[in-house]
Amino acid sequence: MAAQADERVMISERIAPGMLPRVLNSFDMTIIFVAIVLFIVNASAIQQAHQAAYTYWILGFVAFLIPGALVTAQLGQMFPQEGSLYVWTQKALGPFWGFFAGFCAWWPGILVMVATGDAVVTLWQFVDTGGLSKAWEQGLVILAVLWFSALMSMMRLRMTQSYANWAVVFYGAGIFVIGLAGILWLIGDGHSATGGWGTASNWGIHSTQWTWFGFVILALLGIEVPLNM
């Protein structure tokens, strides 16, 4: 039994704790999770569901996000080693599927870096009408974003995480300001773009709207998980 237990111990479990000491705390990990999951653009995409959007968000939290957090916490207690999804899959299904799960968690990061550069180009063109009209100009901006990401990756992890923490704080502050502006608009002379807030049927779930529930689940999965579904 002891020999079998030793065989199931991964090399990373024996070597990583000594070579890679822990430098992140619970707050840092929470920030990383929020940064992965929280995309405010998802809120604007689901607004087409009108009042029912709030129902689907609540249902998504109750039926998926909270149970998923409880399951993740339990897995973390059962397998406290570094690696999370990679470790859990390797323990349950073996080395191949452990590698596959780890690859699927890593690969979206590569795609997101390129997509982020493209998003910067889109925002630039939105602010500066007619700017970056040539393909080579857009390419330079995308390369600049990638070079900046590479520079950040070469810094000490503690320093990089501190920058990420502040970025998420400002991100949350921006979301708060947008929400506050909407509330002040409604309190003032403004009016809601959607009528029928007092109609119960507008808040209900209909068979023709189940795709919105799927969208909510996808939004709560974050950027890494779709390949692992």
In this predicted structure, what is the pLDDT of residue 1?
43
Secondary structure E strands in 18-134:
none
- In order along its 229 residues, the chain shows pLDDT tens digits of 444 444 567 777 777 667 777 788 888 888 888 887 887 777 777 878 778 888 999 999 999 889 988 888 888 888 887 778 888 888 888 889 988 888 888 888 888 888 888 889 988 998 888 889 899 999 999 999 999 989 988 998 889 999 989 999 998 898 899 889 988 888 887 777 666 666 777 788 877 778 888 888 888 887 656 554 4
Please report how many Cα atoms fall inside a 13 Å half-sphere around the Cα of residue 62, on the Cβ side: 6
Ramachandran area for residue 110 (φ above 0: left; ψ -120 to 50: alpha; else beta): alpha
User: Using an 8 Å Cβ cutoff, are 46 and 53 in contact?
Assistant: yes
Tally of helices (H runs) and strands (E runs) in the chain: 11, 0
The model's pTM is 0.73
Is 145 within a domain?
yes
Is 204 within a domain?
no
Is 14 within a domain?
no
Residue 43 CA: distances (Å) to CA of 3, 47, 50, 69: 52, 6, 11, 21
Is 99 within a domain?
yes
Q: Distance between CA 1 and CA 7 in Å, rounded?
A: 10
Is 205 within a domain?
no
Cα angle vertex 37, ends 154, 172, to 5°? 85
Is 8 within a domain?
no
Count structural domains, the chain: 1
Is 197 within a domain?
no
Domain that holds residue 167: 24-189+212-227
In this predicted structure, what is the pLDDT of residue 2?
42
Is 11 within a domain?
no
- Helix (H, G, I), strand (E, B), or coil: what is residue 187? helix
